Amino acid sequence: MDATANGGRETKQEKIRRLQREFIESALSEVGAVRGQLEVAQDDFHGSEAGEHLRKVAHDLRGCGAAYGFMALGEAAGKLEDSYRGEDAADVLKGLAIELEQAVGRAKAALEQAVGSVSG
């Protein structure tokens, strides 16, 4: 049943799917921004504004990914966050950001298979 068939109100399942779609769209955008920042990263990346953005994005995706049921995405984000906190080199972070981007892509594909198209 969709919202129009339910008197204009979303069902609980529809709301969850909408929130999952919005999360994936946001994750795609955020991970793309992080990857762009890492491409131009210098030795002083840790503690920089770009580095803190990476840490925040990874932290948020770690928690929200798991909360929305995208466990592999949450785990990939956790690896990136832990690596940043451990002050790993930018090349290591780049590889983990690619893994995170791939995890977001897999989550998007799984969601699309379950409910239909997700933009991005």
What does each of the 120 residues of the chain score in pLDDT, given as a tens digit? 455 556 678 899 999 999 999 999 999 999 999 999 888 877 678 888 889 999 999 999 999 999 999 999 999 999 999 999 998 888 899 999 999 999 999 999 999 998 866 655
Cβ atoms of 3 and 14 closer than 8 Å: yes
Flag whether 118 is in a domain: no
Cβ atoms of 3 and 11 closer than 8 Å: yes
Give the chain's domain count.
1
Phi-psi region of 42 (alpha: psi -120 to 50; beta: other; left: phi over 0): beta
pTM across the whole model: 0.85
pLDDT at 1: 45
Q: Which domain holds residue 64?
A: 12-113
Flag whether 120 is in a domain: no
DSSP string of 74-119, one letter each residue? HHHHHHHHHHHHTT--HHHHHHHHHHHHHHHHHHHHHHHHHHS---
